[in-house]
Structure 1
Amino acid sequence: MKTVLTKFLAFSSIALLMLASCKKDGVKVTATSGKPGALTASATTIVLTSATAGDNAVSFSYTPTDYGFKSAVTYTLQIALKGANFANSKDIGLTAKSKAYTGADLNTMLLSMGLIAGNPAQLETRIKSELATNVQTTYSNILTLTVTPYFDIPFYASLYVPGAYQGWSPATAMRISSPSDNKLYEGYVNYTDAGSLEFKYTSDPDWNHTNYGDAGSGKLSTSGGNLSVPSTGYYLLKADLTGSTWSVTKTQWGIIGDATPGGWGASTALTFDSATQTWGGTIHLTAGGFCKFRANDAWDINLGDNKPANGILKYGGENIPVTVTGDYKVTLDLTHPAFYFYSLIKQ
């Protein structure tokens, strides 16, 4: 009898242990979709410039998604063009609760997204939270940013253009440049004073290296006299150091195309702004049409965009598309030799 009782007690103990073990295994954590965290930004209107490229342009911060329990969550900052429903978004994995961008880093990303320098554009940003493959992805609130990128302007091989128009100082003179470094240089200089039309070319921003002057008949010489333009105005300057030649062409710029008031028959004149050294104006443009920039109401010197349009101009380039009808602030910037660009900003 004692043996039977002992066996019964032993069996009962094992059964109780097994029952306890089963109850412990039955405690499960059920994940919900979670309460989304909140995304904030230090700025929502951002105008980037090369002068502030090293400064922080914007910082994003977020509060974590609340799933009701502690767990490892993957957070991703998503940035996309407004209205695209985050298609082709830039996805940045986050390891901290904030993400800061310098002006240079943000500008590089914006240009890679197809934004045109000098033109304000709207972006949408949000935080994506992911817990596991069988748990619904959670998204934060959406922030809208208005951003204006800038061009990272290259410095090509150059000649300096000191002259009477700026006090004969090579260090502060305008330049003409050779993007292919093939000894063919070009650039634009504005001459405003009839008594200050003479200039020279220098190989460096000083008078201590090679200097080029007029050898007559459109030729350059390292021992020649001063070069000059025939009258005041805005000039395209060219120099060919292989052939030792030079030329100047006076220009007055306008915009032309079926998107412009004059259609393809006549240029709509732009006005030169001496403060910014750019050409511009407010012009009504029509959706579905195109436009280009040209000098002297003729096609000898005309500038179009690339395809797809990116705001950078080239001689004889593609027609520039206009997608929305309205009044536009048009700017043509020829101040950076051999690297020309424009902006069309709807008012």
Structure 2
Amino acid sequence: MKTINSLILSLAALFVLGACEEDGDKYYLSSLTSNELIASTDNIVLTEATAQKNVLSLAWTDRTLAISNPNFKPTNLLKTAMQVSLSEDFSGTIVESAETSLSKTYNGAELNIVANNLGVEANVAAKFYFRLKGTTGNNIDPAYSNVEAVTITPYELDMRFANVLDQNATATGMTLFSANTDGIYKGFVGVEGWFNFLVQEADGTIWRNDNETGMPFLLTTAGDWKCWFPGTAGCYYITFDTNSKQWNGLLIPSLNVSGDINATMTFDRTSRKWTATFNADATGTITVRIDGTGKLYDHTCANLNDNGGYDIDDTKAKDTPVAFSGSNAALSFGETAGDITVNVPQTGECTLSIDLSNPQQWTATVEKGGSVEPEPEPEEGQYLYLPGIGPDTEWAYDHKIEVYYKEEQKYAGIVDVNSKYGNYAMTLFSSGNEWDTSRMYTIAKDDAASTAESGTLINGQGTNIPAPDAGLYLFDVSLKELTYKTYALGDNIYCYYGIENDNSFNPIASTGTAGEYSGTITLATDSKWGAKFYVENAWTAFYGGSDGKLYYNGDGIMLKAGTYTITVNLIDGTYSAVQQ
């Protein structure tokens, strides 16, 4: 860790005439005059081994906005950017990135891209200069922080590889490979239906969907649209061609094994492995063939919809033979199956695995024991997603509630609310599909009655739903009745014992762990109707359960007379009742 020299520059106050001027009042906006930048180290040697490791962090003090009248609250006009240059006075080329927090962390690959964009030779140490730039308006001179110097030795970019990013430009761990370093990348991925993604080359170039035509499978480096997959989740073989600016995805629904064993393989999206379990009669080598029929999706599968956008038409996908050949240590992928020899380590239950996670080398192995069943794909309508309810700059689909009454289309669940924009929508899609509103739920544009606590939904794109303040909430939604309710989780939940002539609510306190409550309860007699846990001190939303599992609106938990230590976790959906 370097010794930090705190250099605080005195900057002139910046004033902007406010937009509000009534009854002679004038409001002025001013920014503070200093902002200290601190780097975590002053010397870094980058290598491919540290590409995905955090190697440099920078932090700074809060730059706030002050207002001459405390009763007037303008929108936040401050924009902050990190600037990097090879010249201390920043007179040469500058690499700039917008920042929204009070720190920035680079991993090795990200910092190596900065070095490449500044023209630094690989394996040669150079001094890089970092500073913050702050602006409060287009016509106002920026304010700058102190400058931090860091010596960095970059490594040579390997343009054979490209990273698959999610819709928030975060690495997914999936990589494509260009064997001839010609900008044509290929590889296997495991994705959800409608998965939105970007592809980043080693030099930092990010490819996305063409937003001028909007047609899927066409590429550009401009705009902000994402590429997206068809609605079917599973294994896809991608050909991503940055020269022709097109990509295609070959969906592989299943693979069949023939030869010395006969089996149907299953795919695990997380590990990107195909597996099949079989019983071996003897140890030694066996010969297998692996093939199937895939469906090829490209831009010819696009349909123009009524909203002026494009859908992917599954009926236009082309049936395509898929098969593996080659050696078990270096599989080849194509349309014709070849004999593959693998070693069987034991008699009895074994698992044949095809590992596609390394884009340079696909392998086939046989391992002892049975395969672990992959997580089943969610059923249609199992979850209701709440994009916009979280802090994401993009509308991420990682907050969801689960169906609890399928016939009535009712959903409920605990959600950690921290909405960046103060509003959200509901959708039955697990990832973005901007044009199909048939599964989207919002509120009507003229709806003045719906609030963050409750309201009436419409099926389609209206106005986004107001989000509650940050915190944990129980959401209860009916898509059949088109209604929603939210309940804030407080310091207590309330246990109704289910005892005759006792309608009391008995508080159980939070443990400090999100969604968890624990305390002691005493039942004078056996619970007749079963104990239930209410979120509020009222006959409103509650959980029942059995065998340690909680269920929203579930049956009461049958307890005998006695004293119990109760622990309830509403997020995990579990409870314990230990009699003393």
- The normalised TM-score by structure 2 is 0.27
Bigger Cα Rg = 1
Structure with larger RCO (C-alpha < 8 A, sep 6+) = 1
User: Which of the two has greater strand per residue?
Assistant: 2
Greater share of residues in helix: 1
TM-score normalized by the length of structure 1 = 0.43
